[in-house]
Structure 1
Amino acid sequence: MPTPIATVAGPLRHLRPRDGSEQTITSVELFFDLVYVFAVTQLSHLILDDLTVGGVARAAFLLLVVWWAWIYTTWMVNWFDPASAAVRAVLVGVMLASLLMAAALPEALTERGWLFVGAYVVLQVGRNVAGAALLPRGQPLRGVFERLVVWSVVAGALWLAGAALEGDARLILWIPALAIELAAPAAGYWVPRLGRSLTSDYDVAGGHFAERCQGFIIIALGESIVVTGATAADAGLTFTVVVCLVVAFLETAALWWLYFGAAAAHSRAAMAASDDPGRLARDAYTYLHLPIVAGIIGAAVGDDLLIAEPHEALHGVGLAMVLGGPALYLLGESLFRLRMIGSTNHKRLVAAAVLVALALIGGHISALALSAIVAALLSAVAVWELRTPAGPPPAPRPRVP
């Protein structure tokens, strides 16, 4: 059993209690999330402004950065209590850095590279340094943050060095920097002499962590509604545009329904009951939520293209957004479910395969007809699952060493 983090060397006023009480999401956390609504919107617009393979690849790269900034802060707030004035001050500073990073996203590879990486490095390094400083020596969690500082400083040096280059040449150093960031949790933040952290040391409040990640899914889905609603209003609410808006909404609602069903409740229960929730938080939420979020953004781009030209057939990247976004979403959810509760949903995998197969006819029918098929397919899966008894939550899976 990991040592409860709030009972080492007496009560620690900056940490959330680990006394068995339910950890709630605070207003500060919700306030922090507002910046990431803007960040996700920026990513959607990046793809729409450059509807090429290169444009999608750049947006995917930046999505990884945005997600990493958000999820690391989620880890911190799972441990640290926002009721502490010092913790709240750190979160406000992280929020400001996140806002600057999000504002610079469209020009991260052009004129605003220094602002983008400067804000991101300050966010990552500053938050980790603050976490270590708020903990006394000998507190087990302090060792985790000291390792985090080392990894974030090493990656930060590459981020800043890359900003000195021009255009896509920055990726020569930024890709290794991001690779270091992504590998760090899997490596246990290993540092010479300090060793590595074990997930059992993290003492995660599983229910709170699951709800925070579910909140990010709401952010991404809400951004989809904002983008399609604004596009429809700009296009003029003709009969065709209203039909397109209805189709786009039904698709978004189906995505919401598919995520927030029995599996979400079972996943929260599995997190709360697990003897190593840190491992599940790392695998299922830190890593495997990425394709789910990416799929929602792709679907949002497809909805925007639908409203812009409903009677035209989509090709290339546009077609990939309409079909590939929901397919990636379903695949990501299946991987998430497999890691959390040890089973896959065959209906969703079949639906993802059908979406991919629709590419054979997608370029020969209108965007409206294709999007209506996608919305109908996703809705059918949601209804089909609704008619299937959910069953009791699965028993917690044994911890993997």
Structure 2
Amino acid sequence: MGDGGGTRWSRGVQRGAPGSRTTRLELFYDLVFVFAFLNVTSLTSSTPTPVNLFRCLLVLALLWWCWTGFAGMATLVRADRGVLPVVGFTTVAATFLLALTMPGAFVDRPGGLNGPLVFAGCYLLVRAAQLAIVGWLARSDPVERRRWLLQAALPVVASALLIAAGVVPSRIDGRPVAIAVQLGFWTLALAIEFGVGTGVGGSYWRVVSAGHWAERHALMILVALGESIIALGIGPKFISELPLTGPVVVAAVLGITVVAALLVGVLRHRYLSLSVS
């Protein structure tokens, strides 16, 4: 795949290289994704029902797909050079709005903008920002360009399905049927993105620097685990409301133990990945 532009190429988009490292700017981007992930946790605990759990798993899968594509793109190009910071800030702004609209992603709440429409629009914007860079990289390669055209259609179809999931169920008589139709639309959207997207991704899923990818993934998990510790202390109000009893101490220690065990696993995975690269 040719550069297709020499000097002009480096002004707009600069290729990534083997051995590159995660930048501070990328870590800032990941903070917004972590906020979105924690919002999913809050929504899960707010209504502990099987339907709500499945909805939150669908949202989590959609967010992970967005972050994976965003992080993978950063191994193909330099995230801190040229126009990439603009793409990054657009992505995190749309992701932040997407996280704020999560409570209304399935059913529109009274007042304000339409929740499902805003959620679907933010998702489409996140994916479009990523695919715009991939399309720029593939413009000089006919094979990769055809792959990109097919890939670019996937988030459009998925967003349309998300909009349908927010609009169609309200017109169906019978709550169980409406919920089944809604979950079906969401599941189909994810199946298209994950199934077809990985099949036709081509160079989009090629990792230029394994060390960069491993470090980015490890830092993402590390930040998420750190936020989990904060949520563990603030969420149940250990400090302000609960007395320091035996069960509270056990719960707090077990929570920290689980986080520490996950952290050890992440650091070990990063060490092995960096050793291989």
Residue 98 of structure 1: CA displacement? 0.3
| TM-score after normalising by structure 1 | 0.57
Question: Which residue identity is paired with 1:123?
Answer: V
Partner of residue 174, structure 1: 186
Query: Matches of 1:268 and 1:184 in 2, distance apart?
Result: 30
In structure 2, C-alpha distance between the alignment counterparts of 1:247 and 1:269, rounded to whole Å: 32
**Alpha-carbon distance in structure 2 between the residues aligned to 1:162 and 1:39:** 21
Q: CA deviation at 1:47?
A: 1.6
Q: Which residue of 2 aligns with 1:253?
A: 260
1:161–1:173 Cα contact (<8 Å) kept: yes
Partner Cα distance (2:22, 2:147) in 1: 23
What residue is the counterpart of 2:111 in the other structure? Answer: none
2:206 pairs with 202, 205, 208, which one? Answer: 202
Task: Work out which of the two has the higher radius of gyration on C-alpha atoms and give 1 or 2.
Answer: 1
Task: Tell whether 2:103 aligns with 1:110.
Answer: no
Deviation at 1:110, TM superposition (A): 1.4
Three-state SS of the structure 2 residue aligned to 1:173 is: helix
Quote the Cα distance in structure 1 between the aligned partners of 2:219 and 2:189: 27
* Distance (whole Å) between structure 2 residues aligned to residue 25 and residue 67 of structure 1: 18
Specify which of 35, 40, 44 is matched with residue 43 of structure 1: 40
C-alpha distance in structure 2 between counterparts of 1:139 and 1:24, whole Å: 30
Q: Highest relative contact order (Cα 8 Å, sep 6+), 1 or 2?
A: 2
SS in 2 for 1:235: coil
- Pairwise CA distance, 1:203: 5.3
Q: CA deviation at 1:222?
A: 2.0
Q: Structure 1: how far apart are the matches of 2:144 and 2:243?
A: 55
What is the Cα deviation at residue 256 of structure 1? 1.2
- Whole-Å separation in 2 of the counterparts to 1:144 and 1:75: 17
Q: Which residue of 2 aligns with 1:127?
A: 130
> Are residues 135 and 188 of structure 1, via their aligned partners in 2, closer, same or farther at CA, if it must alter by over 3 Å?
closer
Q: Please tell me whether the aligned partners of residues 72 and 207 of structure 2 are also in contact (alpha carbons under 8 angstroms).
A: no
| 2-structure distance, mates of 1:233, 1:23 | 42
Distance 1:124 1:163 in 2: 20
Whether 2:275 is the aligned partner of 1:269: answer yes
Whole-Å separation in 2 of the counterparts to 1:17 and 1:99:
26
Q: How does 1:50-199 map to 2 (within 5 A)?
A: 50-111=47-108, 112-133=115-136, 136-138=139-141, 145-165=148-168, 166=170, 168=179, 169-189=181-201, 197=202
CA distance in 2, matches of 1:150, 1:116: 18
- Counterpart CA distance in 2 for 1:198 and 1:157 is 26
Identity of aligned residues (%): 26
Q: Which amino acid aligns with 1:254?
A: A
* Shift of residue 210, structure 1, vs aligned partner: 1.5
Please give the alpha-carbon distance, in whole angstroms, between the structure 1 residues aligned to 2:143 and 2:74. Answer: 16
Which among 24, 29, 33 is matched to residue 27 of structure 1? 24
Which amino acid letter does the alignment assign opposite residue 97 of structure 1? A
CA distance in structure 1 between the partners assigned to 2:66 and 2:53 by the alignment: 20
Q: Is the 8 A contact 1:188 1:198 kept in 2?
A: no
Residue 187 of structure 1 aligns to a residue whose secondary structure is: helix
User: What is the CA distance between 1:143 and its match in structure 2?
Assistant: 5.4
In the TM superposition, what is the alpha-carbon distance from 1:127 to its structure 2 partner? 2.8
> In the alignment, residue 118 of structure 1 is paired with which amino acid?
G
| Amino acid in the other structure paired with 1:220 | A
The letter for the 1-side match of 2:187 is I
Deviation at 1:120, TM superposition (A): 0.7
| 104 and 239 in structure 1: CA distance in 2 versus 1, 3 angstrom threshold | same
Count of aligned positions: 256
Q: Distance in 2 between matches of 1:208 and 1:244?
A: 36
CA offset digits 1:267-312 (Å, max 9, x no partner):
3333x2xxxxxxxxxxxxxxxxxxxxxxxxxxxxxxxxxxxxxxxx
Which whole-Å CA distance do the structure 2 matches of 1:227 and 1:107 have between them?
22
- Deviation at residue 106 of structure 1 after TM alignment: 2.3
Q: Distance in 1 between matches of 2:120 and 2:46?
A: 22
| Shift, 1:237, TM fit | 5.0
Q: Residue in 2 aligned with 1:333? A: none
Q: Using the alignment, how far apart are the partners of 1:198 and 1:135 within structure 2?
A: 9
Q: State the distance in 2 between where 1:209 and 1:88 align.
A: 18
Given that 2:71 and 2:213 are in contact with CA atoms closer than 8 Å, whether structure 1 keeps it comes out as yes
CA–CA separation in structure 1 for the residues paired with 2:84 and 2:72: 13
Aligned 8 A contact 1:121 1:159 in 2? no
